[in-house]
Amino acid sequence: MSFAATILTLYPEMFPGPLGISLAGRALAEGKWSCEPIQIRDFATDKHRSVDDTPAGGGAGMVMRADVLASAVDDAVARHPEVPVLAMTPRGKPLTQARVRALASGPGVTILCGRFEGMDERLFEARPIEEVSIGDYVLSGGEMGAFVLLDACIRLLPGVMGAPSSGDEESFESGLLEYPQYTRPQLWEGRTIPEVLRSGDHAKVEAWRKSRSEADTRSRRPDLWERHEGARVQSPSGARLKKKD
């Protein structure tokens, strides 16, 4: 079954964009996923086909109208009732690899892309929509966020990545950053590859990788490390175990 991506946007011509080439592009051509951009403006009802209006209470910019957005969402839900509806917004829950994995194992995703100062809050009260952020910075619209989310999902679809196991050990799958990688030439600008990686001793290689993964996570991403350690010292019953130093 193909992963159905429906994108509600004021710029449908942006899609599939970068997802039309390389890994995702090949998967699209092979029918492993489908990309259906929908013009939000088609759901406007006034003669100017307006999708936004001035913010209640005053202030800069424009706000996307709840009525127009709800009509667009309802249309997408009618086409794909089993697919979750997400809205890209910096106010949303930060996207994680765990959420990406869950979405990729489902039937697809409908993504609402905001523009301007935001979307009328009543939309999120009236419809089951999951607000998602791709990070603590502000983009000019949700489309770039949609590309990020879709790319992360598509590469996990069955048969999309070359080696089926090559995703298992990478960053975030275990809650840790991935260990560093090396390839030929063995000597480059006076720098060699760590000796252990050329030893052919798989157990030693694995131990080195685990230790680098832990050390790098600890120094680069103390937030991830703390969560990882927190999970490790928690027994299955929920009781705290003594933490190793």
Span of 24-32, 72-80, 130-138, 222-230 interacting with ligand ADE by CB under 6 A: 130-138
Tell the residue number behind the tokens 């709800």, with chain if given.
Answer: 70
Q: Is 139 in the site for ligand ADE (CB under 6 A)?
A: yes
Quickly list DSSP for 45-73.
-STT---EEPPTT--SS-EE-HHHHHHHH
Among 5, 38, 85, 88, binds ligand ADE (CB under 6 A): 88
- Enumerate residues 187-226 that contact ligand ADE by CB under 6 A: none
Among 145, 176, 197, 213, binds ligand ADE (CB under 6 A): 145
Q: How far is the CB of 244 from ligand ADE (least distance, A)?
A: 37
Span of 41-49, 132-140, 197-205, 217-225 interacting with ligand ADE by CB under 6 A: 132-140
The CA distance from 230 to 241, in Å, is 10
The CA distance from 244 to 83, in Å, is 43
Q: Is 90 in the site for ligand ADE (CB under 6 A)?
A: yes
Report the residue number, 135 or 180, with the smaller CB distance to ligand ADE: 135
3-state helix, strand, coil in the chain (%, to 5): 40, 20, 45
53 vs 38, 70, 119, CA distance in Å?
21, 15, 10
Strand partners, 47: none
Q: Is 133 in the site for ligand ADE (CB under 6 A)?
A: yes
Please count the residues of this chain forming the interface with ligand ADE, following the rule CB under 6 A: 12
Report the residue number, 44 or 139, with the smaller CB distance to ligand ADE: 139
How many CA atoms, within 13 angstroms, populate the side-chain half-sphere of residue 117? 14
Residues near ligand ADE, by CB under 6 A = 88-90, 114, 133-135, 137-139, 142, 145
